Amino acid sequence: MLILIDDADPKAIEDTLSFLPVDGVTTNPAILARYGADPLATLKRIKEILPFGSQMHAQLVSTTTEGMLAEAAALRETLGEHIFVKVPVTREGYAAMPLLKQRGFYITATGIHSAMQGFMAAKAGCRYIAPYVNRMDNYGISGVRVAADMHRMLRAQGIQSDVLAASFKNSEQVLELVRDGIGAITAAPDVLAHLVSNPATDMAIHEQNADFAGLVGGPMTWADLVAATGEK
């Protein structure tokens, strides 16, 4: 399962990369607008930050099929051939998907709010289909259920695309989809951090370290003890 960072702030991305085994970054126009810097310069900076082999997803903003093809070509020219272009599941987007596939692009379908939108995008050649989990919840639809349904549909039909679930408000939504075997998720840095943080863990480690300090007569580490004995 792939785990990606859904953010455009290079500092936040670097911080998450410093402690979590993530596989890349997804962006969209709204995320780039929230960061507020030049969007192309931001994507270039993110590419510099990411480890070799990481994924980077950038969303097309053209509203015509021809415009999407031109945009995708420009992004690949600037950011490299491994860029994933995010294509909205509009009429024009569906028309662009097989054309982009023929031209060797990696495609992520975005803006998905129903299982059949995702399924048709997968049939059109998209590597990933990205349902908006929390946005569906806001419309009274179970986003987790829809994403899980899409995953089962793809596997049942033998289609090798994967669900890239997006738009989370909490780590519990992510956990439910991990249980369902979803191929990939992308979430904001704070949601990803909450996947591994737990106050009970912090308390247990604090108590154990306090016991160790009492044993050795102060806040010392094993490296301190070895240095104090002169051993190498």
Cα dihedral 18/24/72/183 (nearest 10): -170
Q: Between the CA of residue 167 and those of 60, 191, 219, what are the distances in Å? A: 18, 10, 43
What is the identity of the amino acid at 31?
I
Instruction: Please give the Cα distance from 118 to 57 (Å, whole number).
Output: 17
* Residue in 168, 73, 179 with CA at minimum distance from that of residue 130: 168
Please check whether residue 28 is in contact with residue 52, taking contact to mean a CB–CB distance below 8 angstroms.
Answer: no
Q: 184: which residues sit within 8 A by CB, 6+ positions away? A: 1, 2, 3, 4, 23, 128, 162, 163, 164, 165
Hey, which residues are catalytic here?
86
Answer positive or negative: Cα dihedral of 132, 15, 34, 50.
Answer: negative
Q: Between the CA of residue 224 and those of 92, 206, 211, 221, 231, what are the distances in Å? A: 64, 18, 16, 5, 11
The SS3 of residue 24 is strand
